[in-house]
């Protein structure tokens, strides 16, 4: 949430479906996607997230990307099908294989470079025609957008770089994010 504070964007923790009512956008963070699936089911958040995402932007990082995908290579993960992408969990290896790479990013026609932190990151295996690639590494998409939803295979919040979160905050005007 520190990165959002740098942008003067109000952020709240979302722990139950009712918490979404005060949000104008949502960031689904990294973590362990099978555990996140269990928690989403346990607190009956799945349908609330689907309803929320119809007209409000969602940004998923790492495990958040996995949850937003249309298809994932692990049947234990119940996706939200918010982005027309197919992902492979932990595609870049185990925790010890984590890495930082330089990214060329383009948002709103503005190009910039930044570092991307990849921790047991997912890989996009396939994507639909409506998905726009905003950044790639070695020819593989790692930051994508479809409509008012975005997803990153990396952790932009770990670099101190604010431009990706700032861009997300403009997708639906001024918002408070969770």
Which helix (H) or strand (E) segment holds residue 66: the answer is helix 63-68
> How many angstroms separate the CA atoms of 49 and 38, rounded?
14
The catalytic position among 24, 62, 146, 165 is 62
> How many angstroms separate the CA atoms of 97 and 113, rounded?
23
Q: How far is CA 52 from CA 46, 67, 154, in A?
A: 10, 15, 24
Q: Is 62 a catalytic residue?
A: yes
Beta strands 140-146 and 132-137 are antiparallel
What is the DSSP annotation of 91-160? TT-SGGG-EEEEEEEEETTEEEEEEEEESS--EEEEE-TTPEEEEEETTEEEEEEETTEEEESS-GGGS-
The catalytic position among 24, 155, 161, 165 is 155
The catalytic position among 24, 146, 157, 165 is 157
The residues annotated as belonging to the active site are 62, 155, 157
């Amino acid at each position: 949430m520190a990165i959002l504070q740098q942008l003067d964007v109000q952020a709240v923790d979302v722990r139950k479906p009712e918490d979404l009512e005060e949000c104008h956008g949502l960031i689904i963070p990294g973590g362990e996607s099978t555990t996140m699936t269990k928690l989403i089911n346990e607190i009956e958040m799945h349908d609330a997230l689907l309803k929320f995402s119809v007209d409000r932007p969602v940004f998923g990082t790492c495990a958040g990307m996995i949850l937003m995908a249309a298809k994932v290579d692990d049947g234990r993960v119940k996706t939200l099908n918010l982005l027309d992408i197919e992902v492979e969990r932990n595609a870049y290896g185990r925790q010890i294989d984590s890495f930082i790479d330089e990214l060329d990013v383009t948002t709103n026609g503005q190009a910039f470079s930044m570092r991307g932190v990849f921790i047991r990151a997912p890989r996009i295996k396939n994507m639909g025609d409506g998905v726009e690639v905003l950044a790639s590494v070695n020819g593989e998409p790692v930051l994508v957008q479809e409509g008012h939803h975005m997803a990153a295979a990396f952790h932009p919040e770990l670099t101190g770089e604010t431009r990706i979160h700032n861009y997300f905050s403009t997708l639906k005007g001024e918002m408070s994010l969770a």
